[in-house]
Structure 1
Amino acid sequence: MLRLFTRLAIGLAVILVVAAIGLFVWEPLFAEDAAPPPARSYDVEIIRDDYGVPHIYGKTDPDVSYGIAYAHAEDDFSTLQEVAAMTRMRMGAMNGQDGAKIDFVAHLLDIRGTVDRKYKALPADIRALLDAYAAGLNHYADEHPEEVRLSGLFPLNGEDIAAGFALRSPFFFGLDSVLGALAEDNDLPIEGGPKLTGKEVARITPIGPEPDMNGSNAFAVAPARSTDNVTRLVSNSHQPWRGGVAWYELVVHSEEGWDFAGATFPGSPYPFLGHNKTLGWTNTVNRPDLIDVFKLVLNEDGSQYRLDGQWRDLEAKRVWLGVKFGPFTVPFPQTVYRSAHGPVIKNGKGAFAIRYAGIDDLKMLDQYFRLNKARDFAEWQAAMAMQGVPATNFIYADAQGNIAMVYNALFPARKPGADWRGILPGDRSELIWKGHVGWDQVPMLVNPSSGYIMNANNTPYVASGPGDELDPAGFSPLLGIESDMTNRARQAIKLFEAAGKIDAATLAKIKYDVGYDKADYATEWVAALLALKPEGNTQITEAQALIRAWDWQLDGKGTGDALMLMLMRPAMRESYRRKPLPDAREVLTETIDHLTKHFGSLDPKLGTVLRLRQGKTDLPLDGGSDTLRASTLWDVEDDGRLAVRHGDSFIQFIEWDAAGKVASRSVQPFGSATTRPDSPHYTDQAQMFVNHQTKPVHFTREALAAHTKRRYRP
């Protein structure tokens, strides 16, 4: 009997060992192998300036793309690998359950299918850029195998890079909110529509910016409005400070005419915003209704759906998600569904199909590069008319003094007669739109009489001074354009109108404004806080006294700033989501408890509470949610401080003088090497960022010469 138990124990041990080995090795073996890009030599030189910003020079455009990938990998290879893992649907194997959610979405949206169908139709020069970028990442991985986080992730190819664009683009206009709400049986968020009531909107792990706090400011000033005949453009994107949609600054030059200074996201072979010699643009998030949800009628076993009176098979595909648990990667089966409308989610209320702008399309890869190389307003407009970028406002300026705002979106070509803001019937094929409206129907404001343009995630109908508004009646309600104003937009208009002629200092003062306009949700929220009955709670009485004394500025100089910082964010959040304001007593009580516990006072200095933290760097910040100086999202740390992680990010001030010569200045919250603690550029821009200062962008070789700190060929 003892021998039997011994044999059983040994056998069980062998099984466990075999199972453990299987869990160790199955995932990279199961993952699809990718062929490397075509072999090619690249002629590229990288020059690092005082702040580690890479200036990339190549004979050809692909040379530059190769250099972009290599330079970015030197500074943030960890994040680039996460983006690569997304495109291969292996994030779960790298980051566990949260990563597996992203893998599921990539399967659900059939991202690799889009690439299979559309990649070869891209122009040859774009495919060459993508292959070159992949080759640059592969080269860095080959040189630094100790940094590779996931077995079998490399080599990458151009199709992998394209897949990253297809996956992340729809999350900039809220697709993750819709998918999350459907997955949790919650009410759907409605972009472009009125305020909602109902349950909290659930979200999957964000792939793009966090949907509730998508933001940015942008300003353009024409020479006629300037004190010195200068055209000015301010890029003030509000993005996460770390991760897959954190900005990376760069300057690029190729002998094929590609000259650009700006910033890009991990996984992109070119900048997304900034300037070349003759023109520039920046972006702000817009919120049109670009997503439609259809409720399907299923048969009894759920295998078919009805369309135009006939039953069609519901496409079902079994996928395996690799989910990292400790040292193991566990296979987890899921089924993804698809109908003629698009991806389908089944929940307790039924089966819902989703159709969204840019579905099954890769034209954005072409459009962004054509924008980079446009030489004047006509060429830039021609690139915009390609209509590849699914959504985002473009604010433009150029050396000729033109300024413009384009409310860019791939508006679905919807037919009238249906409630496009609600759940649509899934059994009518005429509601399955096949394309988008034409470029001539996209809202655009060019050279307004006021001499300035601004956008702060507000309605495009208000983009300049009084009298320059676009007429909403000129645009179809089927476009789903939002009517919202933000505090930032109200403040910007007010400050521009009061300023008269604009110089560089005045424009910077507007950009760094920390005030709240006494209108809309801000006034309503303050009134609700002051209307609370203390009911014997002396701390509520004390807090209300601070609220009354507050000067409506979050500059850290007045009383009540820290208190109001924490009180305004919940109100801004719900207003942005078009939902009722939160419970005033609950929010005020939580804020009082936090400040009392961690600071022993309801009125600590704002900079004591609000911090820029990275490694050993720990600095005071100003601004708040929905102020032009944006400190939008933060992590509550163990000491009670609020460490900002989202808000003002890459900032760039661009100017063309009267002779058309360009110059720019920029700053980042941390530095060029945000995931390299040993780098001198880990936080070397932080103090400037806190002080509202910028550094020069050395756009030409001549300007760069005196600031060259490292020169090499990868």
Structure 2
Amino acid sequence: GIDGITAAQPPTAAPPAAGVTPEEAASAAKRLLSAQNADMGSNAVAFDGSTTVNGRGLLLGNPHYPWQGGRRFWQSQQTIPGELNVSGASLLGATTISIGHNADVAWSHTVATGVTLNLHQLTLDPADPTVYLVDGKRERMTKRTVSVPVKSAADVTRTQWWTRYGPVTTSMGAALPLPWTATTAYALNDPNATNLRMADTGLGFSKARGTKDVERSLHRNQGMPWVNTIAADRAGHSFFAQSQVLPRITDELAERCSTPLGRATYPASGLAVLDGSRKDCALGSDRDAVQPGIFGPGRMPVLKNLPYVENSNDSAWLTNADRPLTGYERVFGTIATPRSLRTRGAIEDVASMADKGRLRVADLQRQQFANRAPAGDLVASEVAKWCAALPGGTAVGTGGTPVDVSDACTVLRRWDRSVDSDSRGALLFDRFWR
């Protein structure tokens, strides 16, 4: 991350910082990059007209962003008579609506699983650690000094070292150190560093007259860094796209060019570590991409006009359980892997709603606030039976002392499998589950 870039300095005579094994790096990258481990996320579902009472699409957006701080959403209305009339919510400082609707179409976003960056492992000139080799030819790093003015304090100045791939970095968080040694360094490629197209993409959504226009804005601008887009329109269309600005890491490229570190991290997390000493390991380009080194729209997971499309921060695979999405590269996310309980519960709910049909806004509101606990549906009955079978209703506590749990067993058995304010047993099960 940023700390790894600003801390990166050529090695000295002192012993280099300790690295990690490929297996440790794979585990750290998986924890770091998993959308399920993020402190924020979202749910969103779009129903097409075949499932609704009036034949129009319905959308439920449920962003899990904070209520306070710089990342909260602010209610917004933008109107230019005859040109723009859109309502929704925006992040502070954003010039366009982030999630919202106009008279014809509504859209929402969920944090996607695509890995938005990759690493290039550099082979250094043994005589100079600021020179790296590409096909045997020496290339010197560029030293950049950046100063940031600080109110009522001295300026903060940092030095960065840049390569043809991007800046040198010495870590991706504390658990994934990337030591700069006399022979090896790592450069970070982040295609979103030059992506200023997000506002144009959002403006296209605001002016859209249907899901086709939402898709056109994604194709034309290609500006969404980290989210999926889910939409529905008044004509009854539903739409899902994992349209992200991602480094063009194909599985073939990763197989051919991964370093030993990358052979561990890419399958585990989607983080590619490519051999930076070879020109043939550079990122390619898609003809429909607006920026070199990223995927074009034709390579991205998309589903259109199905009874429902749903995402809860898992990969695109089970956006609709009856039409699994496959064939995309690992950098986009996993295929045929276990889904989170949030995804499983959401798919169960929305698939049942779509089958029932004749949906209204009130049905989506009831689903949103049902407070169902999918984990409880899976195991609470068995846990209650196991609890009741304890001899004398007694369990052994963490300190080794016996604890009477007979009342707890009864509470678990009677729990209604929801987490409403009056759901007695919900807190008890939560503590057990965690």
Question: TM tier, shorter chain?
Answer: 0.7 to 0.9
Q: CA deviation at 1:511?
A: 1.4
Choose the corresponding residue for 1:486, options 340, 343, 361: 340
State, as a whole percentage, how many aligned pairs show the same letter: 22
1:197 to 2:27 alignment? yes
| 1:392 counterpart residue number | 227
Query: CA-to-partner distance for each residue in 1:390-447, whole Å, 9 max, x for gaps?
Result: 2311111111111111122234323522346153322123323142222122111111
| 1:437 counterpart residue number | 295
Query: Does the Cα contact within 8 Å between 1:187 and 1:199 map onto a contact in 2?
Result: no
Q: CA deviation at 1:187?
A: 8.2
* Structure 2: distance between partners of 1:371 and 1:301: 50
| 2:11 counterpart residue number | none
Q: CA deviation at 1:369?
A: 1.3
* Structure 2: distance between partners of 1:189 and 1:363: 37
| 2:370 counterpart residue number | 513
Query: Does the Cα contact within 8 Å between 1:516 and 1:522 map onto a contact in 2?
Result: no
Query: CA-to-partner distance for each residue in 1:121-151, whole Å, 9 max, x for gaps?
Result: xxxxxxxxxxxxxxxxxxxxxxxxxxxxxxx
**Where does 1:268-667 land on structure 2 (aligned, <5 Å)?**
268-299=94-125, 300-321=127-148, 328-346=152-170, 349-350=179-180, 351-386=185-220, 387-414=222-249, 416=252, 417-419=256-258, 421=266, 422-433=272-283, 434-448=292-306, 451-464=307-320, 466-470=321-325, 472=326, 474-477=327-330, 479-481=332-334, 483=337, 485-499=339-353, 500-501=356-357, 502-518=359-375, 534=397, 536-538=400-402, 541=405, 545=409, 548-549=412-413, 550-565=415-430, 568=433
Q: CA deviation at 1:216?
A: 0.6
Bigger radius of gyration: 1
Letter in 2 for 1:310: K
**Cα gap change, 1:567 to 1:262, in 2 (>3 Å):** farther
Letter in 1 for 2:346: A
Query: Does the Cα contact within 8 Å between 1:339 and 1:353 map onto a contact in 2?
Result: yes
Q: CA deviation at 1:557?
A: 2.4
SS at 1:298 equivalent: strand
Letter in 1 for 2:349: L
Q: CA deviation at 1:553?
A: 2.3
**Where does 1:18-167 land on structure 2 (aligned, <5 Å)?**
none
SS at 1:260 equivalent: strand
Q: CA deviation at 1:533?
A: 5.2
* Structure 1: distance between partners of 2:155 and 2:19: 26
| 1:144 counterpart residue number | none
* Structure 2: distance between partners of 1:401 and 1:385: 21
Q: CA deviation at 1:459?
A: 2.4
| 1:58 counterpart residue number | none
Letter in 2 for 1:390: P
**Cα gap change, 1:390 to 1:332, in 2 (>3 Å):** closer
**Cα gap change, 1:228 to 1:252, in 2 (>3 Å):** same
- Give the TM-score, by structure 1 length: 0.47
| 1:212 counterpart residue number | 38
* Structure 2: distance between partners of 1:267 and 1:477: 33
Letter in 2 for 1:452: Y
SS at 1:498 equivalent: helix
Q: More deviation in 229-238 or 329-338?
A: 329-338
Query: Does the Cα contact within 8 Å between 2:143 and 2:159 map onto a contact in 1?
Result: yes
1:252 to 2:78 alignment? yes
* Structure 1: distance between partners of 2:150 and 2:36: 23
* Structure 2: distance between partners of 1:522 and 1:362: 47
Query: Does the Cα contact within 8 Å between 1:289 and 1:481 map onto a contact in 2?
Result: no
Query: CA-to-partner distance for each residue in 1:567-615, whole Å, 9 max, x for gaps?
Result: 65xx5xxxxxxxxxxxxxxxxxxxxxxxxxxxxxxxxxxxxxxxxxxxx
Query: Does the Cα contact within 8 Å between 2:49 and 2:235 map onto a contact in 1?
Result: no
**Cα gap change, 1:406 to 1:352, in 2 (>3 Å):** same
Q: CA deviation at 1:342?
A: 1.0
**Cα gap change, 1:430 to 1:290, in 2 (>3 Å):** farther
* Structure 2: distance between partners of 1:214 and 1:189: 27
- Give the TM-score, by structure 2 length: 0.74
**Cα gap change, 1:565 to 1:196, in 2 (>3 Å):** farther
Question: Of Structure 1 and Structure 2, which has the larger fraction of its residues in helix?
Answer: 1
* Structure 1: distance between partners of 2:149 and 2:153: 6
**Cα gap change, 1:199 to 1:537, in 2 (>3 Å):** farther
Which structure ranks higher in relative contact order (CA pairs < 8 Å, sequence separation ≥ 6)?
2
Query: Does the Cα contact within 8 Å between 1:186 and 1:200 map onto a contact in 2?
Result: no
For structure 2, the 5+ residue unaligned runs are: 9-16, 172-177, 267-271, 284-291
Query: CA-to-partner distance for each residue in 1:73-115, whole Å, 9 max, x for gaps?
Result: xxxxxxxxxxxxxxxxxxxxxxxxxxxx97x689799xxxxxx
* Structure 1: distance between partners of 2:229 and 2:243: 7
Letter in 1 for 2:199: L
**Cα gap change, 1:459 to 1:521, in 2 (>3 Å):** farther
Q: More deviation in 438-447 or 556-565?
A: 556-565
SS at 2:170 equivalent: strand
For structure 1, the 5+ residue unaligned runs are: 1-100, 110-182, 204-208, 572-714
Task: Figure out how many residues of one structure are paired with residues of the other and give that number.
Answer: 376
Q: CA deviation at 1:212?
A: 1.8
* Structure 1: distance between partners of 2:396 and 2:117: 43
SS at 2:45 equivalent: strand
SS at 1:217 equivalent: strand
SS at 1:557 equivalent: coil
| 2:63 counterpart residue number | 237
* Structure 2: distance between partners of 1:390 and 1:459: 15
Choose the corresponding residue for 1:223, options 19, 40, 49: 49
* Structure 2: distance between partners of 1:369 and 1:187: 45
